[in-house]
Amino acid sequence: MSSPVYRFFEWLDARLEPVRERAPRVPVPEPVRQRWQQGGRLWRRLGPLRYLVAAGLMALIPPLMERGWFPILNGTYGQTVLFNTGYWILLTLGLGVVVGLAGLLDLGYVAFFLLGSYTTALMTHSGAPGQFHFVEWPTWAALPFALIVAMVAGVAIGLPTLRLRGDYLAIVTLGFHEIMLEVMNNLGITNGPRGIPAIPTPSISIGSFHYDFGLNPAPYWWFLLIPAIILAVIMVQRLDGSRVGRYWTAIREDEVAASAMGVPIVKMKVLAFVIGASTSGIAGWIYATNVTFIDPTSFPLLLSVLVLCSVVIGGLGSIGGAVLGAILVQAVPEAVRQLSGGNTLFGFDPLTGRIAIFGAVLIIVMIYRPGGLLAARRRRTEMVTPGPESGVVVDDASATEQEVAPADDVHSAGGRST
Amino acid sequence: MTALLEVEDVTMEFGGLRALSEVTFAIDKGEIFGLIGPNGAGKTTLFNSITGVYPPTRGRIVFAGRPITGLRPDRIVQLGICRTFQQIRLFPFMTALENVMVGVDARHRTSVPGALLHLPRFKREEAEGEARALELLHYVGIGRFANELAANLSYGDQRRLEIARALGTGPSLLLLDEPAAGMNPAEKNALRDLIRKIRDSGITVLLIEHDMRVVMGLSDRVAVLDHGVLIAEGRPESVQRDPKVIQAYLGTGAAGDGEAATGEAG
């Protein structure tokens, strides 16, 4: 296992180690939770200020882009890519809660995004002549509804399905996404496959200041995304560092034990779904108002898979990972598209082949970094450490069954008949 | 003495297989109650019925005057019953302290709003939880490993950590499923002292154990299960001499010596 790629990651790890701050082997009373905390010491010392700093840094991107600081992505094109990356970060953060923190494999996450978008569209668009017309509220008024509908959908899909585990849950969520697509394709009010056009864009009026977000992906769309992303990050961080996050971790690591320690399993799983859905509701609102036209083909199943790819490639359970994953899935392929410019490498055109490159990168990352590039420390440990050797049972269906079924009490014959 | 836990006619069937049949006994407040029996006798099934992993097919379980049959496991923990597992089931990649904090969290109520807004209760409960967890780690004697991953602890320490985690939920009845399994004699002695200490702090203990020295030395009363049937119950000395018990462990024809059951039964 000392291929160049592996050595590269080792090298990268060693470089990043001081930044991540290794927990001391000899325990001291205080830094207990710090072991898993993210970001360097300096970053944490900033306290709540760090969010302002982050927002400031993010706000710098569009002006710098205007000046051509980003060699490949610039101009209107760059702004569009930036916007796409932005809402994608929201999606990745949300799914990161479900997959990275609670450990539930959700393959239909984009269904919540779809619901947020459609809710926004239905509540705001003025409707073409003869077309179904719901209400015509200001775009901002639709925001809480997009959020609530997505979250309620999280409960609706979560309550019946979250008794399932692993593969079964994945299939059910996949089905949920497909069902949503079919519903949107066939409902009258959603205008079926023809989609909903003319979704108004939001505008801001404060005193004499007035700005109308237009079709043109001007930098201000990004400024709309910054507070959403920062709030989502704060939400994920705070939940992770609380009783809720501990319960999610406990469920992920050993559901039976968690249940025996008083963790309300189904409730906490539904909560993970709801929290995850919340960011996609917001993302759906921003997306719908930005593109102004949505139809079912805007939300293909592939999108769910791609969000999951972002989460996994970026790093399970970490915020930096979510951001990195979003950039890798949204921005990097676009950059490659620009780079290629008709140049081919041994007859291989990066423009058409970028998805293949992406697939190859995904495979390489999964082999050498199963937890993702910037996985949370705990997640990385979980992925790398083989369970049985340590004498501790790791998230393994057969072991789970063994303890719950009367393994001790019933002689092997027929013991699993429950 | 008042009965803390009453198990009445509990029958547990898995398909055609009867794992427990009409088991009835009561545990008094403040005692250490040993539950023994050959492998496959139904001991862990009984634990699973009491803790709500699966409700019994028939029968009633009453805890502190309140029927708990069919309640969800987390509700039963809230009421004050907590258990450890025969095969260690810690949260391997949480630190020892975090493991216990999960237990302590059962007594807490912070949910999403509190965590998001860092409300006073969140701060109080986090601080309390951490302090209480650390205290419990010291109590079971592994305080120095607070920041160590549970998976990195030695086998005996993992068993202790499981006990600390269960104690974190603030139980009035603690169910220990073979806590001494795999321990060396020194660790077993320390464990005996620990279980006594837990009892003396006012927690009733229901103990499944194969090590006769541990179970007979500790228990105020012992019940014997064999093939799902309660065949004996009483003080350790009398149970040890019970011919039915000797027969269950050693088969018919074994000399009814009484000493036979005092060895390390396997």
Q: Is residue A171 part of a domain?
A: yes
At A80-103, the pLDDT tens digits run 888 899 999 999 999 999 998 888
According to the model, what pLDDT value does residue A47 have?
73
* A388 interfacial to chain B (CB closer than 8 Å): no
Assigned token pair, A260: 């025996």
According to the model, what pLDDT value does residue B263 have?
46
According to the model, what pLDDT value does residue A92 have?
95
Contact residues, chain B, for A258 at CB < 8 Å: 91, 102
**How far are the Cα atoms of A62, A222, A355, A373, B34 from residue A81, in angstroms, in the given order?**
11, 10, 17, 22, 67
CATH for B1-80+171-266, among 3.40.30.10, 3.40.50.300, 3.40.50.720, 3.30.360.10? 3.40.50.300
* Cβ–Cβ gap B53/A260 under 8 Å: yes
Give helix A110-124 / helix A301-314 axis angle, nearest 10°.
120
pLDDT band at A178 (very low <50, low <70, confident <90, very high): very high
Mean of pLDDT values over A247-256: 91
When mean pLDDT is compared over A188-197, A203-212, A297-306, A366-375, the highest value belongs to A297-306
Domain boundaries, chain B: 1-80+171-266, 91-170
According to the model, what pLDDT value does residue B261 have?
45
Residue A65's CB is within 10 A of a number of other CB atoms, namely 20
CA distance B236 to chain A (A): 22
Give the position of tokens 């406990």: A250
Q: Answer whether residue B92 shows pLDDT above 80.
A: yes
Higher-scoring residue by pLDDT: A22, A64: A64
Decide if A316 contacts A100 (C-beta within 8 A).
Answer: yes
Decide if A290 contacts A182 (C-beta within 8 A).
Answer: no
CA–CA distance, B45 with B29 (Å, rounded to integer): 22
Three-state DSSP at B54 gives coil
* Cβ–Cβ gap B88/A393 under 8 Å: yes
HSE (CB half, 13 Å, CA atoms) of B211? 18
At A328-376, the pLDDT tens digits run 888 887 777 776 665 666 666 666 677 777 788 888 888 888 777 876 6
CA–CA distance, A316 with A322 (Å, rounded to integer): 8
Assigned token pair, A60: 């710098």
Assigned token pair, A204: 């801001």
* B57 interfacial to chain A (CB closer than 8 Å): no
- Nearest chain B Cα to A264, which residue? B74
According to the model, what pLDDT value does residue A44 have?
66
Q: Answer whether residue A285 shows pLDDT above 70.
A: yes
Average pLDDT across chain B, whole number = 87
Q: Answer whether residue B58 shows pLDDT above 80.
A: yes
* Cβ–Cβ gap B114/A418 under 8 Å: no
CA–CA distance, B153 with B157 (Å, rounded to integer): 6
According to the model, what pLDDT value does residue A396 have?
38
Strand partners, B225: B230
Strand partners, B233: B223
Q: Is residue A3 part of a domain?
A: no
Candidates A35, A246, A407; nearest CB to B147 = A35
- Residue whose C-alpha is closest to residue B23's, from B184, B242, B257, B232: B232
Q: Answer whether residue A416 shows pLDDT above 70.
A: no
CA–CA distance, A315 with A333 (Å, rounded to integer): 19
* A268 interfacial to chain B (CB closer than 8 Å): no
CA distance B122 to chain A (A): 8
Q: What are phi and psi of A248, to 5 degrees?
A: -60, -45
How much of chain B, in percent, has pLDDT values that exceed 90? Answer: 50
Mean of pLDDT values over A27-36: 41
According to the model, what pLDDT value does residue A386 have?
47
**How far are the Cα atoms of A176, B86, B90 from residue A398, in angstroms, in the given order?**
27, 16, 16
* Cβ–Cβ gap B86/A246 under 8 Å: no
Residue A297's CB is within 10 A of a number of other CB atoms, namely 11
Q: Is residue A37 part of a domain?
A: no
* A381 interfacial to chain B (CB closer than 8 Å): yes
pLDDT band at B1 (very low <50, low <70, confident <90, very high): low
Q: Is residue A359 part of a domain?
A: yes
Q: Answer whether residue A71 shows pLDDT above 80.
A: no
According to the model, what pLDDT value does residue A393 have?
38
At A114-125, the pLDDT tens digits run 999 999 988 887
Candidates B101, B115, B149; nearest CB to A244 = B115
> Checking DSSP bridges between strand B32-36 and strand B58-63, what pairing results, if any?
unpaired
**How far are the Cα atoms of A201, A289, A329, B72, B258 from residue B110, in angstroms, in the given order?**
38, 36, 36, 20, 54
* Cβ–Cβ gap B39/A35 under 8 Å: no
Residues 6+ apart with CB under 8 A from A259: A265, B53, B73, B74
Candidates A32, A242, A385; nearest CB to B151 = A385
pLDDT band at A43 (very low <50, low <70, confident <90, very high): low
Contact residues, chain A, for B132 at CB < 8 Å: none
Range of the domain at A317: 50-375
Scanning A21-134, the segments in alpha helix (DSSP H) are 41-45, 49-66, 75-95, 110-124
Three-state DSSP at B183 gives coil
Q: What's the structural domain count of chain A?
A: 1
Q: Answer whether residue B86 shows pLDDT above 60.
A: yes
CA–CA distance, A213 with A328 (Å, rounded to integer): 27
* B122 interfacial to chain A (CB closer than 8 Å): yes
Q: Answer whether residue A136 shows pLDDT above 90.
A: no
CA–CA distance, B205 with A80 (Å, rounded to integer): 64
Mean of pLDDT values over A26-32: 38
Higher-scoring residue by pLDDT: A358, B69: B69
CA–CA distance, A46 with A411 (Å, rounded to integer): 60
Mean of pLDDT values over B100-128: 88
- Nearest chain A Cα to B163, which residue? A261
**How far are the Cα atoms of A86, A178, A270, A288, B260 from residue A108, in angstroms, in the given order?**
20, 8, 15, 19, 61
According to the model, what pLDDT value does residue A4 have?
75
Contact residues, chain B, for A392 at CB < 8 Å: 88, 90, 92, 150-151, 158
Instruction: Give long-range contacts, CB 8 A cutoff, 24+ apart: A244-247.
Output: A244/A268, A244/A271, A244/B110, A244/B111, A244/B112, A244/B115, A245/A101, A245/B115, A246/B94, A246/B98, A246/B101, A246/B102, A246/B105, A247/B102, A247/B105
Q: Is residue A392 part of a domain?
A: no
- Nearest chain A Cα to B45, which residue? A406
pLDDT band at A148 (very low <50, low <70, confident <90, very high): very high
According to the model, what pLDDT value does residue A221 have?
84
- Nearest chain A Cα to B86, which residue? A403
Of A3-7, A393-397, B2-6, B141-145, which gets the smallest average pLDDT? Answer: A393-397
Of A95-109, B8-22, B250-264, which gets the smallest average pLDDT? Answer: B250-264
According to the model, what pLDDT value does residue A24 have?
40
pLDDT band at B41 (very low <50, low <70, confident <90, very high): confident
CA–CA distance, B212 with A44 (Å, rounded to integer): 53
DSSP 8-state assignment for residue A293: -
ipTM: 0.89
According to the model, what pLDDT value does residue B161 have?
94
Q: Answer whether residue B195 shows pLDDT above 90.
A: yes
* Cβ–Cβ gap A261/B54 under 8 Å: no
Candidates B15, B40, B155; nearest CB to A417 = B15
Q: Answer whether residue B251 shows pLDDT above 90.
A: no
Mean of pLDDT values over A106-120: 93
* A254 interfacial to chain B (CB closer than 8 Å): yes
According to the model, what pLDDT value does residue B60 have?
92
Q: Answer whether residue A157 shows pLDDT above 50.
A: yes
Q: Is residue A31 part of a domain?
A: no
* Cβ–Cβ gap B82/A31 under 8 Å: no
Which bin fits B51, alpha (ψ -120 to 50), beta or left (φ > 0)?
alpha
Higher-scoring residue by pLDDT: A165, B155: B155
Give the position of tokens 């060895």: B263
Of A395-399, B134-138, B203-207, which gets the smallest average pLDDT? Answer: A395-399
* Cβ–Cβ gap A27/B115 under 8 Å: no
Decide if B48 contacts B87 (C-beta within 8 A).
Answer: no
* Cβ–Cβ gap B54/A418 under 8 Å: yes
Give the position of tokens 């043109």: A216
According to the model, what pLDDT value does residue A412 have?
37
HSE (CB half, 13 Å, CA atoms) of B178? 19
